[in-house]
Amino acid sequence: MEKFFKPRSVALVGASSKKGKIGYEIFKNVIKSKVKAYPVNPNRKKIFGKKCYKSLDEIKDRIDLAVIAVEADKCIEELEKCGKKGIENIVIISGGFKEIGKIEAEKKIVELGRKYKMRIIGPNCIGVFNSENGFNTFFQRNMDLPKKGNVAIMTQSGTFGIALLEKCATEGIGVTKFVSYGNKADVNEIDLLKYFKNDKKTDIIAIYAEEIGKDFFEIKNEKIVVVLKSGRSELGQKAAFLHTGAMASNYKIFEGACKQRNIIFADDFEEFFGVLKILAMRGLPSGGKVAIVTNGAGPGVMACDFAGEARNIEIAEIVDLTGSATARDFIEAVEKRREDIIILTFVFQDSPLAESLKELYYGLKNSGKYFIAICMGGRFVEEQKKKLLKLKIPVFEEPRIAINSIDKIVGYSLRK
């Protein structure tokens, strides 16, 4: 599996010199990581200044990874060439297989993989990303990619994957590696979990899935796993099948299996990202006692409403400092608290606080408490949000997401 993320040489079948083409964008991203790259296109002599090969057969050097981005009906032929050349790791970007009913074509991919002992990611995916060396097989442009961190991401949906990567980049959450595995003809969530559970740089494993096999729950794993699964309704299951060819599974049974194995199960994308954000920035809390410290009662009251429905956390104290609160008032209130989690709800627009923000951030930086922040507003508030994120304080706009996310985390911690 390591060669998917750290290849020394990569061949792109379907490379293009035309801007906007999938083969153009992939090759552009591949060469940025400084790997030895071989474009394959029978109609070009050079792409990005590199010699272009008419076929994989022409490449004399050993290839660690082949990326295939041609029409579906040409993929089988190209995959056979990969096998004959001894390439062991393949990413098939191309779609047009079981997700549109071409089940036999996808079976052929599996047969060739076994025949030549190849490991194959895809088809119908965007491939991989490694934050350590910057290597990726994406055909997207204008993407913000995250820095190095401790979160590994595996997703059947490239679209969800892109959104998650960009949100991680925006909010300063670091990622180790990313895999979009699409139809999972060969490499699936079981292979990836086995890989990431042994990856020393990964502490948290995030999974978006439309289908997960029961063997997944038999894997012994000490790392935190957070799952978002779609296909909970009949209509959703049909949509999942059309997307990646995923087969229907009983959603309630799946949710129960997650709880039994102490896997954090997110209800929607916002909660999924909220859980990841808190874990990546703050880790696990020591318990479920919560204090709310605020200079504006509204968000605190809403947080209490949702906390009243929560299963694992308990609001032990609400400290309303009122709109006259300064940074010193916040820091003094925080230091008196002995609860496991402190939720700070800020009205940054209030003048007494706005005038003393430098003191606020200095005090929060040196506090050592387990903080979660809630704030709402426009440009000025967004500026303060960025400063909180730099202090590794997870920030939320919606109290519901903050409460539900930390409740899931505390539940995991209590069962651990």
Q: Please check the confidence at residue 247 and state whether its pLDDT lies above 70.
A: no
Q: Please check the confidence at residue 212 and state whether its pLDDT lies above 60.
A: yes
Retrieve residue 131's tokens. 């934050």
- Tell me which DSSP letter residue 247 carries: P
Percent of the chain with pLDDT over 70: 95
Q: Provide the pLDDT confidence category of residue 255 given band limits of 50, 70 and 90.
A: confident
Sign of CA dihedral 156, 194, 232, 246: positive
CA–CA gap between residue 215 and residue 206 (Å, rounded): 18
Per-residue model confidence (pLDDT) at position 76: 96
Rounded to the nearest 5 degrees, what angle is found at the Cα of 407, between the Cα atoms of 340 and 280? 75
Q: Provide the pLDDT confidence category of residue 10 given band limits of 50, 70 and 90.
A: very high
Q: Provide the pLDDT confidence category of residue 235 given band limits of 50, 70 and 90.
A: low
Retrieve residue 349's tokens. 């627009």
**326 neighbors 355 (Cβ within 8 angstroms):** yes
Note the pLDDT tens digit of each residue in 33-49. 999 999 999 999 999 99
CA–CA gap between residue 161 and residue 137 (Å, rounded): 13
Per-residue model confidence (pLDDT) at position 232: 67
Lowest mean pLDDT among 161-170, 226-235, 264-273: 226-235
Per-residue model confidence (pLDDT) at position 254: 82
Per-residue model confidence (pLDDT) at position 175: 98
Averaged over 253-269, what is the pLDDT?
90
Note the pLDDT tens digit of each residue in 297-352. 888 899 999 999 999 999 999 999 999 999 999 999 999 999 999 999 999 999 99
Averaged over 352-367, what is the pLDDT?
97
Per-residue model confidence (pLDDT) at position 248: 44
CA–CA gap between residue 64 and residue 214 (Å, rounded): 32
Helices (H), 172-229: 189-196
Percent of the chain with pLDDT over 90: 89
Q: Kindly report, as residue ranges, where domains of CATH 3.40.50.720 are found in the chain.
A: 1-125
Per-residue model confidence (pLDDT) at position 133: 96
Element (H, E) at 364: helix 357-365
- Tell me which DSSP letter residue 284 carries: -
Q: Please check the confidence at residue 374 and state whether its pLDDT lies above 50.
A: yes
Averaged over 287-304, what is the pLDDT?
94
Averaged over 42-67, what is the pLDDT?
96
Note the pLDDT tens digit of each residue in 404-415. 999 999 999 999
Averaged over 175-200, what is the pLDDT?
96
Per-residue model confidence (pLDDT) at position 222: 93
Per-residue model confidence (pLDDT) at position 240: 46
Averaged over 18-24, what is the pLDDT?
96
Averaged over 111-131, what is the pLDDT?
97
Q: Please check the confidence at residue 281 and state whether its pLDDT lies above 70.
A: yes
Per-residue CA distances from 334 to 220, 339, 341, 354 (Å): 39, 10, 10, 18
Q: Kindly report, as residue ranges, where domains of CATH 3.40.50.261 are found in the chain.
A: 143-282, 284-415
**207 neighbors 275 (Cβ within 8 angstroms):** no
CA–CA gap between residue 281 and residue 154 (Å, rounded): 20
Q: Which listed CATH number (3.90.1150.10, 3.40.50.2300, 3.40.50.261, 3.40.30.10) goes with 284-415?
A: 3.40.50.261
| CATH C-level class of 1-125 | alpha beta
Count each helix (H run) and each strand (E run) in the chain, helices first. 15, 18
Q: Provide the pLDDT confidence category of residue 230 given band limits of 50, 70 and 90.
A: confident
Q: What is the model's pTM?
A: 0.92
Q: Please check the confidence at residue 243 and state whether its pLDDT lies above 90.
A: no
CATH T-level assignment (fold) for domain 143-282: Rossmann fold (3.40.50)
Q: Please check the confidence at residue 228 and state whether its pLDDT lies above 60.
A: yes
